[in-house]
Structure 1
């Protein structure tokens, strides 16, 4: 009898892992340690000036991949019923505080937003001189888009053909910046359907302008910025997107060169961001900050630029947002930020998917306007008459109201 109870309630040896399971756990543990270290280090990227740790400042580029890896590894260790799951769960909880930089849950399938009367719209877009991927001028395509969404304020970067754009937008009642702020060398441009009472090109930096715009009785200072390039070339994008690093032998040299250029230009943008942030903080009016920052949300540049204004995506964005047409459409580097005097109401990246989705939701209106043949094209998943020849960026459109 004693042997029976001993066998039933006595201590048992822990079930031995198979050699394969033990090896898999060992490999996954090493990967987990690496990912956890990268995650912890990435938490400090926004607060460390790139001049102090240039290479570290490039880590933010892979932050979305780190977050996904954290989630997968946490699930793995939970399923393995391992103690490693405990610290991974803690790190995953910490990561939730930064998740809204990249992703905001979509709680509904369709968002039929009814904006209140008096809603203001601002759009930012890096035009690449209005040159499409095929090398052709795409002014007409962008003009149709603008005519449809009718933003109150437009901020263009890499502006080209300024005279043509002035003429194109004039029938839509858009006013350009004063001619004294001569636009050259692809400098930013700003257009408004409301009066512009003052404007200034910041210091001698051709890539930064602000304008005071009167909307009804309120004066708003709008900053249009184009921060220093990342210096990532097309061949670099092809190298990453086409997985050429799997076949080439000089991977260390190529990746090292890319990291070196990124680090160098992060330092340049940090100086620009510090300068612009100090100017924004001195504004006597509520501010709107638009532009191509050439940097992602986990960066020193983003933290400095968002100190005086809130990122509209973090307030009202949906899903995963990317504004750059490259690197697997993973990068959000174009922003609209609003100071506390404004309430953001809607955020859209106007890419082909969003545009088609808008047409589907408003099908009866579009059919009356463009004809019955529109519906079959929508059923096939095409954008129909809303196809847009984009630059290497997508336009960002934000709806907001002024707090009274």
Structure 2
């Protein structure tokens, strides 16, 4: 610090603050939101914090200053704890009769209120799904409409609620569904549903999990109009509900005798407590075979991954794909799996 100019001393202090925040975010996935809910807000900005610390590294390297070691050290800790934020390689899905293509897609009520500046968005969503032809698809924020044609799936399970606007979750499958059900999260429109699916001699369970939304409007103008106290209180409440919902899910999953695939919109990142608990010893298919940042939510400022497909270790992960189709505030994701 002694050899730094006044401006660089200020920059280093700012660097120190964001480095400590990033280090703190690496610890938070191990702290229950019910106890540390407001602190968990930091996890939502991990991607931003990583990017900012990387910029600080470049800044100090260009000036040949050893202050670069601060952010380098924190970034290396994160790398060894969680791996790279960006996946440089992907497994190319190979066509094979044993492959099972599993898609997850939050369709945002099929654009019921015309959020997307395109015509016939609901038809485009259905045509996209039909074209990609996943064997199994889990849909969040499903809104049943007469003109929706999912007849290309023989088997389905839907759990729909709501008085004014009917919505819920759905699982569509090309393979027989022999049993299904709903966990019924309390005091919310969010939920988790499941379907036991038979393929050949194998039976496995697919969960569709939609954890509590943070109820944040990502438009800058809307955020400016809201007081920080109200915003943080709402986020705190949502994090606590997410923990309760994840505990209910894990209790249900513990009694399952089949191999499982967990799909869903967790409304939280891979650096969160609920993600860590739900993932457990399952494989994150993006980590296994994905490429890039894995963005699954439409946020303008940095890539956000809050939609997941997790698979039992009995499944081989033969491919993973993020799509860019912008028909919702979420982007579809698909994993290619096979049973050993």
What TM-score results when the alignment is normalised by the length of structure 1?
0.75
CA contact 2:92–2:319 (8 Å) conserved in 1: no
Task: Supply the distance in 2 between the matched residues of 1:314 and 1:255 (Cα, whole angstroms).
Answer: 34
1:260 positional shift: 2.3
Cα distance 1:115–1:329, how it changes in 2: closer, same or farther (>3 A)?
Answer: farther
Task: Supply the distance in 1 between the matched residues of 2:131 and 2:87 (Cα, whole angstroms).
Answer: 27
Partner of 1:367: none
RMSD: 2.5
Partner of 2:332: 395
Task: Supply the distance in 2 between the matched residues of 1:193 and 1:329 (Cα, whole angstroms).
Answer: 36
Task: Supply the distance in 2 between the matched residues of 1:271 and 1:204 (Cα, whole angstroms).
Answer: 9
Q: Which runs of 5+ in 2 are unaligned?
A: none
Task: Supply the distance in 1 between the matched residues of 2:302 and 2:331 (Cα, whole angstroms).
Answer: 10
Task: Supply the distance in 2 between the matched residues of 1:164 and 1:44 (Cα, whole angstroms).
Answer: 48
Cα distance 1:278–1:85, how it changes in 2: closer, same or farther (>3 A)?
Answer: same
1:301-348 alpha-carbon deviations (Å, 9 max, x no partner): 111111142211111110111111234362211111101110111111
1:348-378 alpha-carbon deviations (Å, 9 max, x no partner): 12214xxxxxxxxxxxxxxxxxxxxxxxxxx
Q: Which runs of 5+ in 1 are unaligned?
A: 1-15, 353-388
Match of 1:189 among 151, 167, 170: 170
- Aligned counterparts, 1:348-387, within 5 A: 348-352=321-325
CA contact 1:343–1:401 (8 Å) conserved in 2: yes
SS at match of 1:225: strand
Task: Supply the distance in 2 between the matched residues of 1:54 and 1:182 (Cα, whole angstroms).
Answer: 29
CA contact 1:277–1:308 (8 Å) conserved in 2: no
Task: Supply the distance in 2 between the matched residues of 1:25 and 1:329 (Cα, whole angstroms).
Answer: 26
Match of 1:342 among 297, 315, 326: 315
Q: Does 1:217 align with 2:201?
A: yes
SS at match of 1:104: coil
1:100 positional shift: 4.0
Q: Does 1:126 align with 2:99?
A: no
Task: Supply the distance in 2 between the matched residues of 1:400 and 1:222 (Cα, whole angstroms).
Answer: 13
1:204 positional shift: 5.7
Partner of 1:319: 292
More helix by share: 1
Task: Supply the distance in 2 between the matched residues of 1:135 and 1:266 (Cα, whole angstroms).
Answer: 33
Task: Supply the distance in 1 between the matched residues of 2:300 and 2:229 (Cα, whole angstroms).
Answer: 18
How many residue pairs get aligned? The number is: 329
What TM-score results when the alignment is normalised by the length of structure 2?
0.88
Partner of 1:140: 123
SS at match of 1:302: helix
Partner of 1:268: 241
Task: Supply the distance in 1 between the matched residues of 2:122 and 2:59 (Cα, whole angstroms).
Answer: 50
- Structure number, greater radius of gyration: 1
Partner of 1:356: none
CA contact 1:102–1:297 (8 Å) conserved in 2: no
Match of 2:79 among 96, 101, 109: 96
